[in-house]
Amino acid sequence: MRVKIRRFAETSEYFISVTERRATILDVLEAIKNNLDITLSYRAQCRAAICGTCGVKVNGKMVLACKTKVLEVERDEGILIEPLDNMEVIKDLVVDHGDFISKLRDAKSWYIEKEQPEKVYPEDLANYERETDCILCGICYSVCPAFQNDKEFGGPINFVKMFRFWKDKNDALGDVRVEIANKNNITSCVHCRYCTLSCPKQIPVEEDILQIEFYGKQKGIIQKKENFPDFFSFGF
Ligand code: SF4
Ligand code: SF4
Ligand code: FES
């Protein structure tokens, strides 16, 4: 199989034999590094879709290398592996997660317990259980077109975290999370749903954004920013 890998401005080409039907993109990268080219750099740790470090673009699709089988993405001409979009490349397939990590930090994306927490029942957990599966892989961030018009946009990963804590009845911030969403320009989302469709954990990212945005506008917490079209004004 022909494997092309984009490495900064250049593309390296390798030929490897893939006989195992379960072989993943990560297996391919490891085979190349171990047998053909020790200089190749990529990032991976858990091999089990848990650590969120192995995101890459394969034949134009953003995926986790350890979760994606070669069979799912292979074409007649082979596969092209590239670094994720919307992030600076450090080397070869290794990208800098710093941008979205600092946005998460600025948005207080952690649990802040209220003074007298209440018991949590399964029906409470159901409100945000899917969002707790987020592995911070940044794939939603890499597919998002909203950054083209607004570099200050918080990004889908950020709004998933806001949603998770906003829906938790024991979180002390409550609607302050919605104010933070407003400061992170949530109205710059164009609701393309690429984030939802690409998330390896099947988190309904765009639907969460829609809920925060709708609630925030009803309460007067979220206002559309000047010079940005209002999604709701198009009558979607
Ligand atoms: S929401 Fe999904 S795609 Fe985005 S960082 Fe979390 S797990 Fe990855
Ligand atoms: S739905 Fe919004 S947040 Fe998700 S990829 Fe599209 S513009 Fe980005
Ligand atoms: S190696 Fe951890 S998610 Fe792929």
Phi, psi angles (nearest 5°) of residue 75:
-120, 175
Pocket test for ligand 1, best of 162, 164, 203, 207 (most atoms within 8 A of CB): 203
Question: Based on the domain organization, do 149 and 113 belong to the same domain?
Answer: yes
* CB 160, CB 208: distance < 8 Å: yes
Which ligand has the shortest distance to the CA of 163? 1
Q: Which atom of ligand 3 is nearest to the CA of 65?
A: 4
- 115, amino acid identity: E
Question: Based on the domain organization, do 178 and 72 belong to the same domain?
Answer: no
DSSP SS3 for 146: helix
Question: Based on the domain organization, do 181 and 229 belong to the same domain?
Answer: yes
- Whether the model clears a pTM of 0.85, i.e. scores above it, the answer is yes
Question: Based on the domain organization, do 183 and 85 belong to the same domain?
Answer: no
Per-residue pLDDT for the chain (236 aa), expressed as one digit of tens each?
999 999 999 999 999 998 888 899 999 999 999 999 999 999 999 999 999 999 999 999 999 999 999 999 888 889 999 999 999 999 999 999 999 999 999 999 999 999 999 999 999 999 999 999 999 999 999 999 999 999 999 999 999 999 999 999 999 999 999 999 999 999 999 999 999 999 999 999 999 999 999 999 999 999 876 655 555 544 43
Which residue, among 141, 220, 143, 152, has the nearest Cα to 185 in the 3D structure?
152
- With a 6 A CB cut-off, is 194 part of the ligand 2 pocket? yes
Which residue, among 106, 132, 122, has the nearest Cα to 185 in the 3D structure?
106
Nearest protein Cα to ligand 2, atom 5: 144
- With a 6 A CB cut-off, is 51 part of the ligand 1 pocket? no
Question: Based on the domain organization, do 77 and 119 belong to the same domain?
Answer: no
The CATH number for 155's domain is 1.10.1060.10
The CATH number for 21's domain is 3.10.20.30
- With a 6 A CB cut-off, is 207 part of the ligand 2 pocket? no
Nearest protein Cα to ligand 2, atom 1: 191
As a whole number of angstroms, the distance between CA 75 and CA 128 comes to 38
* CB 18, CB 78: distance < 8 Å: no
Please give the distance, rounded to the nearest whole angstrom, from the Cα atom of residue 153 to the centre of ligand 1: 16
Domain range for 76 is: 2-95
Please give the distance, rounded to the nearest whole angstrom, from the Cα atom of residue 135 to the centre of ligand 3: 9
Q: State the pLDDT at residue 233.
A: 46
Please give the distance, rounded to the nearest whole angstrom, from the Cα atom of residue 50 to the centre of ligand 3: 6
Please give the distance, rounded to the nearest whole angstrom, from the Cα atom of residue 155 to the centre of ligand 3: 21
* CB 96, CB 18: distance < 8 Å: no
Per the structure, how many domains does the chain have? 2
Nearest protein Cα to ligand 2, atom 8: 144
* CB 29, CB 65: distance < 8 Å: yes
Q: State the pLDDT at residue 231.
A: 52
Q: State the pLDDT at residue 227.
A: 55
Q: Is the dihedral of CA 103, 154, 163, 194 positive or negative?
A: negative
Q: Which atom of ligand 3 is nearest to the CA of 54?
A: 4
Query: Taking phi first (over 0 means left), then psi (-120 to 50 degrees means alpha), and beta for anything else, what does residue 20 get?
Result: beta
**Which of 78, 95, 112 marks a domain boundary?**
95
Which residue, among 216, 57, 71, has the nearest Cα to 138 in the 3D structure?
57
Q: State the pLDDT at residue 74.
A: 82
Question: Based on the domain organization, do 141 and 91 belong to the same domain?
Answer: no
Q: C-alpha distances in angstroms, 57 versus 5, 15, 26, 28, 192?
A: 10, 19, 12, 14, 19
Question: Based on the domain organization, do 109 and 204 belong to the same domain?
Answer: yes
Q: Which atom of ligand 1 is nearest to the CA of 135?
A: 7
